[in-house]
């Protein structure tokens, strides 16, 4: 009997990760060059626009790695419960009519 070693990263998309990192780096350089004249000289890097962009990039890459590691069959099996839970997520007051903008009955 042949045993296959199961790996979480077997289907990981390294091209997607590399492309994302390349585009994020390009975007941070563009934001840095666009806001260089307005940046405070005595502030930390994270108080500038490129610093904010870098923080969001790190969060985005972490989410990309997490969601890439999730099996697509798990997401597919969660589709019906998410669809059934949507009205209760959209109606926080528990009323029969949506109370948030954008949550309206389809016409």
pLDDT tens for each residue of 23-69: 999 999 999 888 887 777 777 877 788 888 999 999 999 988 888 77
Cβ pair 61, 24 in contact under 8 A: yes
Q: What is the CA radius of gyration of the chain?
A: 21
| Average pLDDT over the chain, rounded to an integer | 76
- Degrees (nearest 5) of the Cα angle 38, 60, 35? 10
Q: Report the range of poorest mean pLDDT among 7-16, 35-44, 82-91.
A: 82-91
If one counts every other C-beta atom within 10 angstroms of the C-beta of residue 99, the result is 11
pLDDT of residue 88: 61
User: In the prediction, which pLDDT does 22 show?
Assistant: 96
Residues 90 and 103 sit within 8 Å (Cβ to Cβ): yes
Residue 31: how many CB atoms within 10 A of its CB?
17
Of the pLDDT bands very low, low, confident and very high (cuts 50, 70, 90), residue 70 is confident
């Amino acid at each position: 009997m042949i045993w296959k070693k199961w790996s979480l990263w077997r289907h990981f998309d390294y091209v997607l990760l590399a492309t994302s990192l390349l585009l994020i780096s390009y975007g941070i350089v563009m934001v840095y060059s666009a806001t260089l004249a307005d940046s405070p000289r005595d502030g930390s890097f994270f108080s500038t626009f490129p610093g904010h962009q870098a923080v969001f990039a790190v969060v985005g890459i972490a989410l990309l790695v997490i969601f890439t590691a999730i099996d697509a069959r798990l997401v597919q099996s969660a589709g019906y419960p998410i669809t059934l839970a949507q009205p209760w997520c959209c109606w926080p007051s528990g009323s029969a009519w949506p109370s948030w903008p954008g949550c309206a009955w389809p016409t």
